[in-house]
Structure 1
């Protein structure tokens, strides 16, 4: 293979790395914003993993440009810096994903504890769950029936108003039928589904991103061997 072909490959894989880095960055920001107050309930370490991936996404986007420069300029020092920095980013991405999955069960347990024992008692937790259920169009952890064992349901014999389906004007369609748990009038998806969505969306993007980054390092290392 000639140096020109290596240059083309480096630019191509850095473009792919840039795109996946942008996706990781965007999904990380989306997850941290869309989760609303849920991040104040679930294990905070879990969201540290998301913040690590946000930083890595931004770093990889910058390194993609630097990698193209190092390749076109055929600068050995620049290639060494690029490879080192990209490998550090890959390591941090792996750490971020490990944190996400390692603390998943802890996050689920904290979700359960917060709504079953604190909703309706702790104003902060109540507001967080109401915001999460309205914005996420979800109810309970996995199903609306999860509320049946909560302190709030035992005391009021109803589901929270935030579980009720709303129209475009944010008005509840039918409060009574919502309280009765009728599917057309109560959100049937659990809020844990939001956590799963964040996990799989981010991890599903980070894994191919890491793959393309490692390929970029391998190719530019081959280019390094052809520079005299």
Structure 2
């Protein structure tokens, strides 16, 4: 018996393809758990810092917790429709899953194309984010962590120049604080003996003549080094994006196959 004949016989018996059905269910269940975790983590992060204010919601959002909430919400909703739709053989939820995933794919492709075409503007946006993050550096532990990790790993300081740290009230040269006219420890060059930098290694550095800065801190801005890193890893990034798109296309194909089975069975009633 051919595969088409087996499929027809199965449909006449009122059965969908169990392998496809439960593959879709478990695949989406995994992402449902991931989405729930990201959403819960983002909400917990905002509540624990008591930072979920109207000003942040309506203004420029810098807090990375909002990214976890947005990403977690999308993953949760889409995977929920695929998971429950497959389990209950609900064509409405399954069609919503296909539509949502199709829209997400279009947005992903559009974002990649726009990021390539308007790469200078993207660089400006990254620079604006870093400058706003510098402003909140001493107030938000998540932003503090992200900036420190970025500056340490990329060996950079500030958005375009170490003087960008004047945007922070504590590192500003007119500040009475001990870190006045300085930069965070993540801007410091590593110790020659390989030891861990003192947390105050960057304090007062910018009060020195600029020609001496390179002896103590990184002087390149992070925006240029992020752009350079992207160019260096363009092949890896392209492959990852391609794999994600292929997985999404396969998901839509399997869901459409399941929807076709369900509709065919209903037509035989």
Say whether the 8 Å CA contact 1:25–1:58 is kept in structure 2. yes
Indicate the residue corresponding to 2:198 in structure 1. Answer: 173
C-alpha distance after superposition, 1:91-112 (max 9, x if no partner): 3322553565435844431333
CA distance in 2, matches of 1:88, 1:164: 46
Once the 2 structures are TM-superposed, how far is the Cα of residue 203 of structure 1 from its aligned partner?
Answer: 6.0
Deviation, structure 1 residue 29: 7.3
Q: Any gaps of 5 or more consecutive residues in structure 1? A: 71-77, 166-170
Task: Give the match's secondary structure for 1:40.
Answer: coil
1:159–1:99 Cα change, 3 Å: farther
Structure 1 position 135, deviation (Å): 0.7
Structure 2: unaligned runs, 5 residues or longer: 1-6, 167-171, 174-179, 189-195, 206-212, 231-236
Q: Quote the residue 1:218 is aligned against.
A: 256
Residues 57 and 206 (structure 1 numbering): CA distance in 2 closer, same or farther, change over 3 Å?
A: farther
Secondary structure class of the residue paired with 1:144: coil
Q: 1:134 aligns with which of 140, 144, 153?
A: 144
Equivalent position of 1:86 in the other structure: 97
1:112 equivalenced with 2:134 (yes/no): no
Query: TM-score, normalized by length of structure 2?
Result: 0.48
Q: Deviations over 1:83-129 (max 9, x none)?
A: 321122213322553565435844431333566xxx6xxxx654324
Distance in 2, matches of 1:82 and 1:20, equals 16
* 8 Å contact from structure 1 (residues 17, 61) kept in 2: yes
> Do the aligned partners of 2:24 and 2:254 also contact (CA within 8 Å) in 1?
yes
The equivalent of 2:3 in structure 1 is none
Distance change (3 Å), C-alpha of 1:114 and 1:218: closer
- Count of aligned pairs between the two proteins: 192
Decide whether the 8 Å contact of 1:21 with 1:57 is kept in 2: yes
* Larger RCO (CA under 8 A, 6+ residues apart): 1
1:67 partnered with 2:78 = no
Instruction: Flag the structure with larger Rg.
Output: 2
**Superposed CA RMSD:** 5.1
